Structure 1
Amino acid sequence: MITLVGLGPGDPGLITRAAWEMISAARVLYLRTAVHPTVAALPPSVVVRAFDDLYEQAERFDEVYERIADELIARARGGEAVVYATPGDPLTAEATSRHLLRRARAQGVPARVVPGVSFVEPVCALLGVDPLEHGLQLLDALDLMVGDTTVDAPSWASLHGFTYTPPLLPFPLTPTRPALICQVYSRSVASHVKLSLLERYPVDHLVTLVRAAGVVDAEAAVELPLHTLDHRNDFDHLTSLFVPPLTPLADLRGPDGVAYVVARLLGPGGCPWDREQTPQSLRASLLEEVHEALEALDAGNDEALVEELGDVLINVLMLSEMARQAERFDAGEVFNAVAGKLIRRHPHVFGELDVAASDQVLHNWEAIKRAEHATKGVSRQSALDGIPPSLPALAAAQKVVSKAARAGFDAPEIDHAWDALAEELAELRAVTTDPAQAEAELGDLLLAVARLGWRLDVDAESALRAAVARFRRRFARLETLLNGRDLRSLSIDEKLALWERARDDG
């Protein structure tokens, strides 16, 4: 039999009577750590053996847990009545206990838990917090530390010249509920906790650092702004962090906060203008915001891109909330649809499929799409079906030629695309007086340009937008070089000279 008991939060008076009787009757008391105030008050007749040395020998905490579990189970299987004591309550923020119980059950070794007083009760008493009033969340500080960044496999960052840092996903806290984070035992851990919390909380959010809660004449609570959390040096194994909840209107760095704002705007007492909109009236807004996001992207303006992507998101959430109120669908179904699609269409990431290159990824993507359409009873008559008619013409042209090529309608050599471009240009030059024919030939030329762009792996729509933006910048510089002259009065040679000067200026 293995019996797990708790030593309480630190004051010997908070050890339960059942735990004290079990400890007093033990021949040997095994401790995860002897670094705990209660240890000095244990009965002198009890032989104490702590596992602190394992923390110095092992490279990972998991390895420590395994070695503690292996030794205790081996002793129990040898006939010893094992009593294992942990700080606080054996099952509250105690990874070794969870590991030990799983291993004991798997090997058929009887185990029982004698509940104790955890660190939660004295922390709540010190702060005057009812853990059930607002749904207190409990979290180990180590759960707020990002994973290992030394990964051999490529990431987007590594392929584009950046250093990869993994995200903390899913974020382990709901910011609109209070949280108590334990095991903030060092300044380094506090720094990791601070950086992770800053992903969702304001920099000046007031948090409370709690030390030695439940230990007479030692407990203390200090309120401080989140961004200063790791500016201190008084961390130890009895240090916890209380994070008060954000109001929904302050939870602005996560999807729930903006979704709440949109729901309020469209709800009772919301914005009259927003409530008057319809999904169709938002169509123009959605298109406009996407184009503004593209403009910011082309300009390389991160500040503008952040704002414009937010505007696109507003439209997505507005449409989803309107649909929810109309009992058609909600944002959860939108998230579910897109997440499920990404998982299904990336079996090489979320499944067992191996792929050698990106072209194979695209081939698998198209095959999975066809299977999905067949499941839904959607039958596409042509390989060119599924292109939105609202796409800009140049983008639609490139989409058409790429789909046709994937269906097998394309020459393997890029020279064919160059020859087709030259041929279409010659045909356009040959047109004289027929406007309809000129329009047709110009359309063929633009289609040939889109095809060549696809073969060169260049997005024709983005390339043209960038060219127009360059033209506008240079033309503005040309206008400054006129010095009051009328552009129409200049000769072609003078105009070209000014244009060259404008180009030389950048």
Structure 2
Amino acid sequence: MDLPLAAQVFDVLRIAPPSKLMLLEARALASAHVPPYPPDVPALLTNVDSRELALHLKDVLLTTYPKEHVVFVVEGEKKKEEKVETISGDDFSENTCLYVPALGEGTSFEAFAEIVAHLRAPNGCPWDREQTHETLRKHLLEESYEAISAIDSGDFLDMCEEFGDLLLQVVLQSQIANEEGQFNINQVVQGIYSKIVRRHPHVFGDLELEDVDGVLANWEKLKEKERGRKKDGKGLLDGVPLALPALSQAQEYQDRAARVGFDWPEIEGVLEKIAEEIEEVKRATDEKELADEIGDLLFALVNLARWKKVDAESALRGTNMKFKKRFGYVEQGARKQGRELSALPLDEMESFWQEAKKKES
């Protein structure tokens, strides 16, 4: 760590050395995709010795910092103020340093973990302090659905907010577990980090796989080995959450079974199965049999969606929203005429419905 160089840089910049600083050799970021440090701490990157490295640093910084974020290029007694987006890499040498001032307060994961811990501390929030894993369960479910709704809406500002709410639930649950001596958020992060590396030997190892199907098949083999090591008697489908919506659960069951070869060889078999299930629905003689056969038909339709690489849950959710919007147009049409919806004949409702469809195209 070159502390004298850091002191020299701050002398040239004519600013006081910050109380916290990330001091890194620029080459340490040569293979990075995001900055390997918390962005609410200033960073000094030393020995930016080539245009190629400077442009790579620019790409890495742009993943985290706004394009207009001001940085400083320092070489010897010379300094130049730049915006991240305008880093050109010209005139960079082994003596060039790049000083990156901190982002605002609360822009790092560490800062967020700290405020969540503060909420649970003796001088924190009474409501947060009394929460348990069980009392937060409904909030985790609610925030998950709200995040999905934001995705479906395509509203990126809404997505950003809802992902934050979902992150709060993960960090808060981990903080409670930490207080109980079970695990902490760092172990949560390390666990998923290790799992991703372990299950991607084609990225982080030397295994060669040709396509997505090969990746998924190998993924299932790795998971099978992990289940074998745990020796808990769980099968291939036991890892699918029972709380999943039925369409998502059905598609996940089918996906996992298909990865080990339990699948129709051609899509014709899927289509024939749907036709067969429709006939069985027609032949059902009582409510229980009808419910069973309709369930089988829905399961077969989900399988068709899987074969066509369509997410059945999202597809039905989209159709639900489309129906809601069109029906709302029918209701609005009745109100404009000063009539009750229930008083409209079916042909007039259908006319409004067709108008709604035309407006969508």
- What are the within-5 Å matches in structure 2 for residues 1-400 of structure 1? 119-124=5-10, 127=14, 129=16, 134=19, 136-140=21-25, 168-169=32-33, 171-182=35-46, 196-197=60-61, 199-200=63-64, 212-213=76-77, 227=83, 240-243=97-100, 250-252=105-107, 254-380=108-234, 382-400=235-253
Q: Which amino acid aligns with 2:245?
A: P
Matched-pair contact (CA < 8 Å) for 2:71–2:100: yes
Q: Secondary structure at the match of 1:138?
A: strand
- For the structure 1 residues 503 and 369, does the alpha-carbon distance in structure 2 shift closer, same or farther, using more than 3 Å as the test? same
| Number of residue equivalences | 356
Matched-pair contact (CA < 8 Å) for 2:209–2:215: yes
Q: Which amino acid aligns with 2:282?
A: R
Q: Secondary structure at the match of 1:139?
A: strand
d(CA) in 2 for partners of 1:243, 1:401: 49
d(CA) in 2 for partners of 1:175, 1:401: 42
Q: Which amino acid aligns with 2:8?
A: P
Q: Secondary structure at the match of 1:322?
A: helix
Q: Secondary structure at the match of 2:319?
A: helix
Q: Which amino acid aligns with 1:458?
A: V
Q: 1:479 aligns with which of 302, 307, 331?
A: 331
Cα-to-partner distance string for 1:228-268 (whole Å, 9 max, x where unaligned):
89599x98867655455567xx141x322322222222223
Q: Which amino acid aligns with 1:354?
A: E
d(CA) in 2 for partners of 1:401, 1:231: 49
Matched-pair contact (CA < 8 Å) for 1:182–1:240: yes
d(CA) in 1 for partners of 2:109, 2:146: 22
Corresponding residue number in structure 2 for 1:444: 296
- For the structure 1 residues 281 and 236, does the alpha-carbon distance in structure 2 shift closer, same or farther, using more than 3 Å as the test? same
Larger radius of gyration: 1
* Structure 1: unaligned runs, 5 residues or longer: 1-90, 93-116, 148-167, 214-218
Q: Secondary structure at the match of 2:132?
A: coil
d(CA) in 2 for partners of 1:229, 1:419: 56
Coordinate RMSD, CA, aligned: 3.6
- For the structure 1 residues 207 and 378, does the alpha-carbon distance in structure 2 shift closer, same or farther, using more than 3 Å as the test? same
d(CA) in 1 for partners of 2:68, 2:213: 48
d(CA) in 1 for partners of 2:236, 2:63: 44
d(CA) in 2 for partners of 1:289, 1:473: 24
Greater fraction of residues in helix: 2
State yes or no: 1:504 paired with 2:349: no
State yes or no: 1:469 paired with 2:318: no
Q: 1:412 aligns with which of 247, 262, 265?
A: 265
Name segments (4+ residues, structure 1) moved above 6 Å. 184-192, 202-209, 234-239
Corresponding residue number in structure 2 for 1:401: 254
Matched-pair contact (CA < 8 Å) for 2:70–2:84: no
d(CA) in 2 for partners of 1:205, 1:505: 43
Corresponding residue number in structure 1 for 2:274: 421
Corresponding residue number in structure 2 for 1:70: none
Matched-pair contact (CA < 8 Å) for 1:185–1:235: no
Cα-to-partner distance string for 1:119-162 (whole Å, 9 max, x where unaligned):
444345564756xx845433355666x76xxxxxxxxxxxxxxx
Q: Which amino acid aligns with 2:333?
A: L
Q: Secondary structure at the match of 1:354?
A: coil
